[in-house]
Structures are given as structure tokens and as C-alpha cells.
Amino acid sequence: MPQTIKCTVTECQYNADIMCDAPMIQVNHNGSDRSGSSDETKCDTFRPKR
């Protein structure tokens, strides 16, 4: 079953009509060893549009 990932970061090259079309995504901690909320994570797949 295909998975869809919504992304509102329109500046990302993988954003296709508010949906992520990257072949894979990577989400990491954002400056902490453990995350307890989405604010403590970041999408490392982001690439600025050219």
C-alpha cells in the first residue's frame, strides 16, 4: 500500500502539490538526544527548490 506524506513546506524541491514525493524521508532529533514532541524533530530530507 503506498504511503502519502503531507508537506506544507512549499520551498522544498520534493513538495508536489502539498505532498512529499521524495523517494524516502529521514527525520532526526533537533538538538536533543530524545524527542518528546514534533517540535524536537526535523526533516533532514528537505532540499531547497532550485
pLDDT of residue 3: 76
> What secondary structure letter does DSSP report for 34?
S
Contact between residue 18 and residue 6 where contact means Cβ atoms under 8 Å apart: yes
Q: Where are the domains of the chain?
A: 1-50
The C-alpha cell of 32 is what? 536533543
Tell me the per-residue pLDDT of 1-50, one tens digit each, with 9 for 90 and over. Answer: 567 899 999 999 999 999 999 999 999 999 989 999 999 999 999 999 98
Give residue 2's pLDDT.
Answer: 62
Which pTM does this prediction carry?
0.79
Give dist(CA 41, CA 44) in Å, integer.
Answer: 9
